[in-house]
Structure 1
């Protein structure tokens, strides 16, 4: 229990065990949901060794720890007696004080946060495979390619099952019921009935919304009712299973109240699945798929108006989004685009941000005469190379203001260049330099879009470095 004392202090400073509704963690932060945030001693937490800073955003009380947050989280859950596997029960009234937007951010982060590590890992494997294939170290028809491709594709292809689990946990339902709902969406026989981009195929009964973004050929019925399957099925989809898991949690809660305890164990799942799965295929899935298609098409339409302007704005503001947890709003859109179009240009515009950030950090390190600042800056620079920028933001650039602003300008320049060269992400996963392979087109190979992305991250780094070095005063560089 290396972090036991830190964990005890954190729990005490957030108002004690009784003030904690739930606690989870992401890459660098402990994310508390507190009954009363006014009871937390924020200033005292910020001054503690082992804590980078504290953020209050999206209905969450976020204690920024750093790369070892998972170890601190284990200590916090152990010391606090919180359950590591299940989130603490949340009463219906606990979320009433949150705005609609805060609820949205809280829901999205709660559903996707548990998947981030493995999503990054499998995405990196896909990027590695692209490199091995392009360099002809691995043949596309070899067993090695098949197995590595299965490892890289598996999570994203079966994403509805994974999200069914995490979404059901978030909505306080049985996560295994959520997995069954997701598994039904990607069941091979059902996937085989889905229309393809090549055309509706034989057996189409009729088509809804022909010629629109939500055109839906019908190839399947359920007791005579049309089952509308999206193009290529629900594999890699995001929104349908989240909506279905939410509905399933409500249905399950109802049956838990009305079914006798003696048969509750098997009758609750029986009736929940029997009701939720057909309704998901008949109503929830189609509506959610259309919503996802519209979100994806809308994001691409905005991008197409001016990729350069979109890159400058999204790239330049990305670090601000991360600070307040607002970046979660773009994650589902990126996943939708990847599932629908096999690439995403929107989130790709932010790729230069972490490199601009470490450029600004390096400038502060070189200008500073303070050994503590240099030590912290070097550590933040190294973690920033691998895409974890919170230590750089909260420990170095944001307290000095100008370096943070300069890093945002560098990120905006990098984002504009990515838009100019048409840079895209072809996989979701990896951070920092580990995300570079994910910018390689697995079909067409390395092209100008990839080289443009490399130019963009180099430009972001250089602009962040030189602007910070030129315009940051001595007092900012030596600030503790």
Structure 2
């Protein structure tokens, strides 16, 4: 996204979500800014989607998600300078911004959204480092298996320590984002996590033959020694690499802190509140939360293994096919702790391998688009999306290439399902966590637990998904409308290049094209009987004297404004269009117009936007001349490439060029 001013992007996004006062928390993952808003209704999704540098905006899982792509850390850093929110939690309120009760909705939906919002907020900040540690573990598995670096080598041990420490101390690492999410004291949460881990090394002094002997508390318990807290039996657990216990403990800590903080004088609050929180939370965690959390973790692992055992092929197909749909709605976060939990409790996971076919299915579909179409901008987007997806980041492929072309997205899903069925049938395993891409495939290499090597099956299922998606998309994933648009765009590109070489063009060689939205007589703007439009003040474009009242989309993009008599569109090329049916027809107040789209809808070129009753408009005394103008004319210029006269809807009539200085000087 060269040329993007991320300070402007951050300011515009913050304004588009309702301002800083409407934000509870904001965090980011690999590709998205994730806002939790006080009043989601105040966010303008369509407006945010049109901000330069923003790929799209979606609402899912209790979050308003702004999709940036690989440059999301830059956008997040710019947002940090624009506000003091970041990912620090603000106390949640039961009321809306005006003191009105917040919308309740279905309790199950609210519960699911809330759980997903919690999981994504906690795990999103650590995913990058989590993946790095997982990749390093996978690479070490390979080099030790092939004999390049024996496990007895101190070099291997040092590198393994660097990789494994993240997982061993995972509860302490998770304590930080969990504290931010729940509004707890971060350092108290870290002390709480450290205390849970310390139970594995803490010692108890025993008298043996009259001498004091120190014995690890866990070993003392395992030998039958009673461990209690004021007479209440304590069953010690292993907390390294666990997920659920620390999240439950930090939540309890946050409740205690919020309960007692207002009752403690300012002079003592800074140490009394952490003291009470530790003294109360840690024993409760040992007595109840830890065992319950571990029990839940093991139970979840057993349930998923049972599901997969029922029908590995069907499970593999459905899981892989549905994965990217879950990603689109942000629901995949609910499964991340399950992957990590399985690895922590049983040493491996059989569901995470199913994500590789899903990811490479999107990469393959984008490759099919890259090979099938010829327009340079489309190929540029598709080519970069293929590379990003192969490294595990699929949002550019989904939102920039495949989803706008519905067939390609569908083919990617089916191909992923077929690849997932292969992986599932083989029971392929991974032994660490990481973003599913080409660099993390080694997480499934080898047979460290003696269960059988399944790595080749993981490779096979992933490769089948990739190749199948690419081939099917190339032959069947591009509609006739897409092919026509690509041909027109390539033609305009060639025409623009010729003009530039002649020195007669004042624009760049790349041209964007727009189609006739209505069937009728094409006329230049200068012939429109309205001074605002005919003077070009509203921007360059053209007009139609329609003979048919059906209005179709001239480009592919997003509807950013809709009134009964007019539609605003932000195209995928970055051009803003206004289609205004009739002159002064706003006075009809919607009478005679039937819209077929709504603000925020994604549309393809040729989609029906609205129906206008031309006879009724004329009977009311209004001119039916329809105007199409480029409203961001400070960025783009436009010129007719079709002759005036009778023209069918769908015909390419306008070429738009980014505005630059005259190449001839």
Deviations 1:136-167 (A, max 9, x none): 12111111111111111101111111112221
Equivalent of 1:82, from 69, 79, 84? Answer: 84
Alpha-carbon contact 1:409-1:463 (below 8 Å) kept: no
* Counterpart position of 1:60: 63
Instruction: Give 1:254 shift.
Output: 1.9
Instruction: Give 1:442 shift.
Output: 5.6
Equivalent of 1:224, from 222, 231, 234? Answer: 231
Distance 1:224 1:37, change over 3 A: closer
Equivalent of 1:467, from 469, 472, 475? Answer: 472
* Aligned pairs for 1:377-396 within 5 A: 377-396=382-401
Alpha-carbon contact 2:25-2:35 (below 8 Å) kept: yes
Q: Does 1:153 align with 2:164?
A: yes
User: How far apart, in 1, do the equivalents of 2:218 and 2:468 lie?
Assistant: 48
User: How far apart, in 1, do the equivalents of 2:266 and 2:324 lie?
Assistant: 50
Instruction: Give 1:446 shift.
Output: 11
Alpha-carbon contact 1:352-1:456 (below 8 Å) kept: yes
Alpha-carbon contact 2:312-2:421 (below 8 Å) kept: yes
Secondary structure of 1:275's partner? Answer: helix
User: How far apart, in 2, do the equivalents of 1:138 and 1:307 lie?
Assistant: 35
Equivalent of 2:339, from 329, 334, 338? Answer: 334
Distance 1:420 1:108, change over 3 A: same
* Aligned pairs for 1:67-466 within 5 A: 67-79=70-82, 81-84=83-86, 86-93=88-95, 97=104, 99-187=110-198, 188-190=200-202, 193-194=217-218, 201-203=222-224, 220-230=227-237, 233-441=238-446, 443=448, 448-466=453-471
Distance 1:194 1:201, change over 3 A: closer
User: How far apart, in 1, do the equivalents of 2:290 and 2:451 lie?
Assistant: 36
Secondary structure of 1:287's partner? Answer: helix
User: How far apart, in 1, do the equivalents of 2:46 and 2:277 lie?
Assistant: 47
Instruction: Give 1:25 shift.
Output: 0.9
Instruction: Give 1:36 shift.
Output: 2.9
Q: How many residues align?
A: 460
User: How far apart, in 2, do the equivalents of 1:475 and 1:445 lie?
Assistant: 54
Higher relative contact order (CA 8 A, sep 6+): 1
| Structure 2 unmatched runs, 5+ | 97-101, 204-215, 487-555, 557-571, 573-665
Instruction: Give 1:59 shift.
Output: 1.2
Deviations 1:81-100 (A, max 9, x none): 22446344443546874711
Instruction: Give 1:64 shift.
Output: 0.4
Alpha-carbon contact 2:25-2:88 (below 8 Å) kept: no
Say which is worse superposed, 470-479 or 278-287, in terms of deviation. Answer: 470-479
Alpha-carbon contact 1:240-1:288 (below 8 Å) kept: yes
Deviations 1:183-240 (A, max 9, x none): 11111325954489xxx94216xxxxxxxxxxxxxx522222211233xx11111101
Secondary structure of 1:173's partner? Answer: coil
> Which TM-score applies when normalising by structure 1?
0.91
User: How far apart, in 2, do the equivalents of 1:455 and 1:246 lie?
Assistant: 43
* Counterpart position of 1:210: none
* Between structures 1 and 2, the one with greater helix share: 1
Instruction: Give 1:267 shift.
Output: 1.4
Distance 1:445 1:138, change over 3 A: farther
Equivalent of 2:7, from 4, 9, 14? Answer: 4
User: How far apart, in 2, do the equivalents of 1:96 and 1:271 lie?
Assistant: 35
User: How far apart, in 2, do the equivalents of 1:110 and 1:444 lie?
Assistant: 33
User: How far apart, in 2, do the equivalents of 1:382 and 1:339 lie?
Assistant: 31
Deviations 1:24-83 (A, max 9, x none): 11110011122333333322322333111111001111110000101011112212x224
Instruction: Give 1:328 shift.
Output: 1.2
User: How far apart, in 1, do the equivalents of 2:218 and 2:408 lie?
Assistant: 51
* Between structures 1 and 2, the one with greater strand share: 2
User: How far apart, in 2, do the equivalents of 1:295 and 1:288 lie?
Assistant: 10
> Which TM-score applies when normalising by structure 2?
0.66
Instruction: Give 1:455 shift.
Output: 0.5
* Counterpart position of 1:211: none
User: How far apart, in 1, do the equivalents of 2:87 and 2:476 lie?
Assistant: 48
User: How far apart, in 1, do the equivalents of 2:90 and 2:6 lie?
Assistant: 22
Distance 1:103 1:87, change over 3 A: same
Secondary structure of 2:350's partner? Answer: coil
Instruction: Give 1:430 shift.
Output: 3.7
* Aligned pairs for 1:9-24 within 5 A: 9-24=12-27
Say which is worse superposed, 19-28 or 277-286, in terms of deviation. Answer: 19-28
* Counterpart position of 1:207: none
* Counterpart position of 2:553: none
Alpha-carbon contact 1:124-1:435 (below 8 Å) kept: yes
Alpha-carbon contact 2:25-2:87 (below 8 Å) kept: no
User: How far apart, in 2, do the equivalents of 1:40 and 1:272 lie?
Assistant: 37
Alpha-carbon contact 1:353-1:411 (below 8 Å) kept: yes
Distance 1:195 1:46, change over 3 A: farther
| Structure 1 unmatched runs, 5+ | 205-218
User: How far apart, in 2, do the equivalents of 1:195 and 1:373 lie?
Assistant: 63
Alpha-carbon RMSD: 2.2
